[in-house]
Amino acid sequence: MIVVGPELKLHQCGLPKKIALELFQPFVIRRLKDLGHADTIKSAKRMLERRDEDVWDILDEVIRNHPVLLNRAPTLHRIG
């Protein structure tokens, strides 16, 4: 799911936070461990499940460094 928004520039796309968290989960887990917020992968995953505040801050940081590529399959869309 890709969302639109009037505040987005032409080269930007919107992505719901829950989907972004799932997409970038390995990077967020590694960053949680690197920063010392979690000692193990299991504890980092628990933080993701609880949606701790640190998780959202780290997700924002991770997203800034990882571009999202979009692909629209033209054969799936009849009119356009």
In this prediction, residue 52 carries a pLDDT of: 86
Residues 26, 62: contact at Cβ < 8 Å?
Answer: no
| 41 is a domain residue | yes
The gap from C-alpha 77 to its chain's centroid, in whole angstroms, comes to: 26
**Number of domains, the chain:** 1
For residue 24, CA distances in Å to 15, 32, 47, 76 come to 12, 12, 14, 26
In this prediction, residue 70 carries a pLDDT of: 80
Q: For residue 35, is pLDDT > 70? A: yes
Tracing tokens 């009037």 back to the chain, one arrives at 6
Name the more confident of 69 and 60: 60
Domain that holds residue 56: 17-67
Q: Which of 5-9, 20-24, 72-76 shows the lowest mean pLDDT across its residues?
A: 72-76
Residue 31 is part of a domain; what is its CATH number? 1.10.40.90
In this prediction, residue 6 carries a pLDDT of: 86
Neighbour count for residue 44 (Cβ, 10 Å): 22
